[in-house]
Structure 1
């Protein structure tokens, strides 16, 4: 956590220094902000081996959190960085293993004790009074705790590291003397996860599985300015698979590698932003 805070401060200073070199003669403005938000998300993926297929579904997942950030305006550019922390308040999932023999193993689990940390660095370029382009680099670390509902005392820990680089476009409208922004976004990302399942003797500890995947995402959103320093926003995004794989580490030293065949992650985010002017 301390390393992340130092990283965001250092990265923010680097961006600001570069911006000042680009345009030293213009006035600039620095603002701190806070962003509380709630997120609803679901995940579906399918991995396939030579003799079985595994289908994983997460649903009814809700997490809440808050981000603390800093932005600096220089001419028509806005540079920003923020760090956020969130926790799951509800969540469940189902894993179904289907073997070539016709046998099925179904495991249900809860994921209501998970924590998420994210760091964002980005910039907006205001083209005119209505149009705004931007880019965003986002780094996430998800610490998931899963508890089986079908096998007593069976649980798992997932540590997922995500990186995503995206572009976005926003268009501003004046609706009844209120500024409304609508926009679209897209990006590419890389995810790497390490998982540990206890109570399964055939799986190696502490690293039972790992997953790696390249993905792309598309989304859209809207923002409403309530006042000069308060805004509300809603956004939707959906992630898709480019390619990926999963490895299973067994206690006998063998490693089973599976192809990630399908991946879809859908997210709806509701948030507010308060600027300390």
Structure 2
């Protein structure tokens, strides 16, 4: 037995929760445990849908035409993950990540039950977007700042927007502190005038450091497509590098050399025949 989930009954139901699915894993569980798992995950999806960031991702999932997402339990203690099998994207959501009260077993920002599930849904969405170009999804080009590849960078980034909307601590990267078995915060705490506050400089510097990778999120066959990108960029969250990119691109650029700002003024004449001339270099200012 399985439970289907949809924000709106009129939208495709592309998310299925199955606590007893045996297609991917075999678990020795009772029907009661299976049902409890399904209800717990259903509750997490409803929590995700309670935030605009969550609704943006869930809407994008629900309009997928060729794939569906199957959420199922696993006894693996390792982090949950999204895997592709045929036209199904299976989210192996570890039961050990949450206790019987729905509280996280692990420590640190970005890994509460709903954040963990949201993170995996972002993986599924991008994998669906790159369905016909799997090499784009599997691009393992290393990035700086603790992200082993662009896929984990995108998942952590979008989850941080979700976390920001819900007023929670942002995750620094995809790594963790082995000594404490905890993820690390994006904003370290500093003391200012006797008060301990987050150091906002780290959040402000996130966009400039990763501007090129963020811009690729618009691409239909590499990122999340223009529509989902724009919806995320329009979210008024404190942390939103996508919004910063749009704002940066909308800034007026300096006039090209040789062109005066005065209305009606003709541009400088072209160089004389035979005269050396070098075109101005183009690029970000």
Q: Shorter-normalised TM-score: what interval?
A: under 0.3
Q: State the structure with bigger RCO (CA 8 A, min sep 6), 1 or 2.
A: 1
Larger strand proportion, structure 1 or 2? 1
| Structure with greater Cα Rg | 2
Larger helix proportion, structure 1 or 2? 2
Q: TM-score, normalised by structure 1?
A: 0.25
TM-score by length of 2: 0.25
